[in-house]
Structure 1
Amino acid sequence: MRILFISLTVFWVWFGSGMSALAKERITTFDVEIQVEKNGDILVTETIDVIAEGIHIRRGIYRDLPRFFSLDGEKIPYRYTVVSVQRDGKKETFKRQKLGNAYRIRIGDADTYLSSGPHRYRINYKVKNQIRYFKDYDELYWNATGSYWTFPIDKAVVRVRLPEGATYAGQSAYTGILGSRSQNYVFRETNGELIFETSRALGVNEGITISLSLPKGGIDPPSAADLRALWWAKNAATFFFVTTLLGVFAFYYSKWSRYGRDPQMGPLFARYEPPKNYSPAAVSFIHYKSIRGHKALTATLIALATKGWIDID
């Protein structure tokens, strides 16, 4: 009985320490700086402070960004450019991956394990044409933290700077799981920055999405090149499908025209004598379109004998 009690005690101490480590592994601060450019691009700097315990954070972290946005019922891919990635103030190895609806920045070296404790990641990237253009206003709408983290976020802060001369007409933000309409945040404007800050900790798979309404004129409308790129993003799949279909049709049509088409018939005119170099059997077949009885064979044998090719006894 005593051995059983000691075993259970050791198990619960070990289990409790594991749960404690899991509870400690978290993002303590998720700070996002968004610089809105005059042309509608955004420059994003994310500073992510984490506590690693070797549970989920072993070699590094994943930053999953949305890969598509919806426009007129179409899924349009975001265009990202990753500028730099750092860990604890030094350049860090990273890879880019496309995983379903996520654009993943995989940060860390596969051969290097992180030490337990706090680490700071800084990610700089650019997103093309992030502003949404509507009839009466424009909008910055951005899932600032992402909604796919496997550990909690103690605090998230989003700081937005607009280009010179641009103002905002309204703001809102949503916290929680993807699609949530909860609004656990506070908003303030300080030194030209529009700041959104969560008012409660975010749990696993929770994040914050911000929205700023911008009066027309503050952000340039999309250029002709941007509109072409958007058209290609929306119609590229259909264009290549139709082009491929036409190419296959043209290929088979050319082969049919060259090898499968019936040869052109010559002029038709009446003949008043039997065709030359045709045996009686061949003439009979042409006339009747079949072999009828033994007359054609008999006539052919007589014709061969007449030419001296066979002897008939």
Structure 2
Amino acid sequence: MRGRVRGPAIGAGVLLVALLVVPAAADPAVRPRIPTYDVVLTLRADGILHVRETITFDFAGGGHGIVRRLRYRDGDRLYEVRDVRASSSTGAPARVRTTKLGHELRIGVGTRGPEVRGRQAYVIEYDVLRAFTPRAGFDELGWDAIGTGWDVPIEHAAVRVEAPVRLRDVRCRAGRPGASVGCAADRDGRYAIDFTQSGLAAGEGIRVRVRLPDRAVTAPPPAYARPHWAGTWLGTALLVLALGAAALAVRRPPHRRAGTGLAAAGVLLVVADAGNDVAARGPWAFSLGDPSLAGLALLTVGAGIVLAHRGRDA
């Protein structure tokens, strides 16, 4: 009799837990989200873009800070981000850690601090240099105000643009890149304009384009990095010839030391070529030009010789 009662009792308990827990987990109100995201873009007369982002993040069950992903390289275009700082009006840990990964600058705020729960407010500020692009008769700024790297929905976003001159041509688009809609706009005098957008899904952003009259700001020229692959036909030809030479070396390999020396020289050439760019602009600014291709050619031949000797020894 006891066994007959225990089975239904366990089943009823499991059903009760499912009824109480599963709906709570499915309730979007308890999932991480960004209730409000306010950005102020201040276009300074010296050509520097000052950005102030106020982010209200609801951690729901808990989390360790936020990470703002900011593209510092778009194609070959480079943006210089300086003076990154953060704070929290709700007392959440706000120590800043910046790392470059890929073409992104990742700004971690409170990521190594204690866990926080519920709704927290963060303020991130930074300056962007070389953000303007000189055009015929005007200077243009194109900027993704909130980024597309957030993996949580943003319920309400507001972007304010302030300039030292009258704003005549300002546009705002919201959504995913290539599939966006216009933002609601409200002018605040001649020198500022506010954009708003609600219901942004994860991965969606807000991009603002501003055109200022020529010489309205002292905009330094844009900075560009060399393409990651900058080899010419000469370097490519060397690499192709090296593949043929490696095939011949496998059949009749020279001394093993020759192979080791060629491989070492190849590595040094690649490191020297890419190292100049890395030292100047970070680990993801590397560019492989003809010296790198020549180094890969030497490395290919040297590795072929070494492998041929290993095969014969085996």
TM-score by length of 1: 0.65
Q: Call closer, same or farther: CA 1:148–1:221 in 2, change over 3 Å.
A: closer
Q: Which 4+ runs in 1 deviate beyond 6 A? A: none
- The CA RMSD over aligned residues, in Å, is 2.8
- 1:78 deviates by 1.7
Q: Greater share of helix residues, 1 or 2?
A: 2
- State whether residues 174 and 209 of structure 1, in contact with CA within 8 Å, keep that contact through their aligned partners in structure 2: yes
Residue 67, structure 1, aligned to residue 72, structure 2: yes
Q: What is the Cα deviation at residue 244 of structure 1?
A: 5.6
The answer as to whether partners of 2:60 and 2:119 remain within 8 angstroms in 1 is: no
Match of 2:98 in 1: 96
Deviations along 1:96-137, whole A, 9 cap, x unmatched?
Answer: 1112232110111525111x2221100010100111211232
**Matching residue's letter, 1:112:** P
Deviation string, structure 1 residues 266-294 (Cα, Å, up to 9, x no partner): xxxxxxxxxxxxxxxxxxxxxxxxxxxxx
Bigger radius of gyration, 1 or 2? 1
8 A Cα contact 1:88 1:120, kept in partner: yes
Once the two structures are aligned, what percentage of the paired residues are identical? 24
Structure 2 CA distance for partners of 1:236 and 1:17, relative to 1, 3 Å: closer
User: How many pairs does the alignment contain?
Assistant: 231
Task: From the superposition, tell whether residues 89 and 117 of structure 1 become closer, same or farther in structure 2 (CA, over 3 Å).
Answer: closer
Gaps of 5+ in 2: 1-7, 231-272, 277-287, 296-314
Give, in angstroms, the shift of residue 193 of structure 1.
Answer: 1.9
Q: Does 1:135 align with 2:136?
A: yes
Counterpart in the other structure of 2:173: 174
* Cα contact 1:167–1:218 (8 A) shared by 2: no
- 1:25 is displaced (CA, Å) by 2.4
Deviations for 1:129-166, whole angstroms, at most 9, x for unmatched residues? Answer: 11121123222211101112111111111111112xx2
Is residue 38–residue 219 contact of structure 1 (8 Å, CA) maintained in 2?
Answer: yes
Structure 1: runs of 5+ lacking an equivalent:
249-313
1:171 and 1:21 map into 2 onto residues whose CA distance is: 35
Shift, 1:51, TM fit: 1.4
Structure 2 Cα separation of the partners of residues 33 and 147 of structure 1:
17
Q: In structure 2, what is the equivalent of residue 52 of structure 1? A: 59
1:144–1:109 Cα change, 3 Å: closer
Q: Is the 8 A contact 2:132 2:219 kept in 1?
A: no
CA distance in 1, matches of 2:217, 2:134: 9
Kindly report which structure 2 residues correspond to 1:146-295, keeping only aligned pairs within 5 A, or say none: 146-163=147-164, 166-183=165-182, 185-191=183-189, 192-198=191-197, 200-222=198-220, 226=221, 230=223, 233-234=225-226, 240=276
Distance 2:42 2:130 in 1: 13
TM-score, normalised with respect to structure 2: 0.65
* Structure 1 residue 24: Cα displacement: 4.3
Tell me, yes or no, if the aligned pair for 1:144 and 1:158 is still in contact at 8 Å: yes
- 3-state DSSP of counterpart to 2:115: coil
